[in-house]
Structure 1
Amino acid sequence: MKTLGRHLVAEFYDCDAKKLDDVEAIQRAMKAAVVEVKATVVGELYYHYEPHGVTGTILIAESHVSVHTWPESGYAAVDIFTCGGLDPRPGFRSLMRDLGAGSCRVQELLRGLEDDVDQAHPISPEEVIIVSRVAPLMTAD
C-alpha cells in the first residue's frame, strides 16, 4: 500500500488531572508536540468545558493534532495525523510526557491512496476487516 500518512490514535490513562483541566497546559503540550514532529501550524483552537475538561485542535499543514480530556478520570484521547513523510511518534511521546500519562494504548493507521483500492471488486460490509497496529499498554518510563 502506498502510504499518504500516519495516524496515531491514542488513549492516555492516569494523567495529571490538573494539567488535563488547564487550557494553557494543554496548549503548551500540544505546541511542543507539533515542534517535535517538525510540522507547520496553520491554526489552533482550544475550549474549556464546565465543570472540567479541555479540547484542543491544532491544524498543521501536514494534517492535525487533537486532544480531548476528562480530568475527573485522568484520561485523554489523543489524535496525531501526519503526512508528507513526517513521523508522528515524537509528538506522541512528547504529549504522553507533558500530560503526565502513567500508561497508554495507541493504534497506528497507515493512510493510503484511492488507486490502491480495487474498484472492479468493491468490498461488501461482510468483508470489512479493520487493520491497524495496536501497541500493548505502555508506561511513561
Structure 2
Amino acid sequence: MKREVLAELYCEPIIIGNNKVLTEIFYKALDGFDIRERYIEFEPYGLTIVAVLGQSHAVLHTFPEEGRLSVDVYTCGDIAPSVVIERLIQSLNPRDVKCLSISREGGIEVISDDTFSVNIVPGLKAVYNPHKVIISKVSKYQKIDIIDHQAFGRMLFLDGVVQLSTSDIEKYNDLMVHGLDVKGSRCVILGGGDGFLAKRLFELGAENIKVFEIDKEVADLCAEFFGTGSNVKVEWYFQDALEITEDVVQGTNVFLDFTDIPIGCEARISLEKLIKKLSGALSITAYAGSLLDLPQINVVKNIIENAGFKVETWSEWMPSYLTVSVFVRGTK
C-alpha cells in the first residue's frame, strides 16, 4: 500500500538541537527499511535528513529555535509510515504532536489528521481535538491512543473508539454496578484493561475480582498514564475472553467492559458463544452502546435474554461519549 504521514512533533529545543542524538533516534525509527540517506547540518543549528528507502522516502527537518521537528514518511511496503512516527514519539516524548495521514493509492486521500474522529452511530461522527497526545502506538491487537482533552481530561481510545475519560469514568463505573450489591461477591470482568472498574468493585467490597484482558499493553499503559490498569491489585489474565471456561464464571457477577460491541455477523456469533459460556453466572452486566443505536442495544439484550437471563436496561447522558449510554443487565 502507498501511504504517507506528515507529522509535526513539538519538543524541547535542547532535545532536537542535538544532531547526533536525533540522527540516532531517526535511524532507529526507520528500523526495517532499506536506507540510503542524505545528511545536511546547518549553522548555527538545524538538521535535514533525506532517507531514500527501498520503496519510498523519509525526510526529517529540525527547527530548534521553534522547538519543532517536521517529518514526512512515505512507504509502499508492509511497514506503515505511522510506525515511524510512533517510534519517534516514544523516543522524544514531545509535548504535542500534529499528524496528517494520506493514502496515495491512485491519488491523494486524507485518511486522518491530528484530531480523533469517532463513530457515535453509523452515519454520525464526532471529532475530538486533543490538547496533547500522550502516547499513540499500535499493539499486537489494536491502535492505542491516550490524549489530554481540555473538556474531558485524560482519554483512552482503542482503534479510534472512546474507552474512557477521567471526567466520566466514575459515572461510567457506577452505572455498570448500578443496583447490584457486590460486597463479599466474586466478580469477573471481561475487557476492562484500564482497571478502573476493577478498582471500583474492590472499593465496594468485592472479595475476588478476576480481569480477562486480551491486550497487556492496554493494562500497562493505563498503569503508567492513569495509575490504574495493571497497578490494580486483582487477578489479571491476559487472554481472549472467548477462551474463558464455564467454571470460572459459575456463581459470579460478570461485567462485559468492552465499551464497543459491534453487531456484524461474525461479532454477533462470537458474542452469542461468549454469553453461552457465561450462563452459570449470577448476573451479566454490559455497556450496550448509544441510545441512538437501538439495533445494537436490542441485539445485546436478546442474546443475554436467550441465555436464560431476565433483562433490564438503564441509561444516562455521558458527556465525553457525546451520547446517552445504555447499560444492560441479565440476572437469574
TM tier, shorter chain?
0.7 to 0.9
**Distance of 1:103 and 1:91 partners within structure 2:** 16
**Distance of 1:100 and 1:46 partners within structure 2:** 23
Give the equivalent residue in structure 1 for 2:8: 11
CA contact (8 A) 1:22 1:54 kept: no
CA deviation after TM superposition for structure 1 residue 109, in Å: 0.7
Residue 52 and residue 100 in structure 1: after superposition, are their counterparts in 2 closer, same or farther (change >3 A)? farther
Give the equivalent residue in structure 2 for 1:40: 34
TM-score, normalised relative to structure 2: 0.34
Q: Deviations over 1:50-108 (max 9, x none)?
A: 11111112111021111111111110111111102321122111112323311111011
Aligned residue for 1:81, secondary structure, equals: strand
Structure 1 runs of 4+ aligned residues shifted over 6 Å read none
Residue 75 and residue 96 in structure 1: after superposition, are their counterparts in 2 closer, same or farther (change >3 A)? same
Q: 1:135 aligns with which of 114, 119, 125?
A: 114
CA contact (8 A) 1:97 1:140 kept: no
Give the equivalent residue in structure 2 for 1:105: 98
**Distance of 1:28 and 1:140 partners within structure 2:** 23
CA deviation after TM superposition for structure 1 residue 131, in Å: 4.2
**Distance of 1:65 and 1:33 partners within structure 2:** 10
Q: Deviations over 1:28-71 (max 9, x none)?
A: 11111111xx2211x11222211111111211102111111111
TM-score, normalised relative to structure 1: 0.75
Identity %: 24
Backbone CA RMSD of aligned residues: 1.9
Structure possessing the higher relative contact order (Cα contacts under 8 Å, 6 or more residues apart): 1
Larger Rg: 2
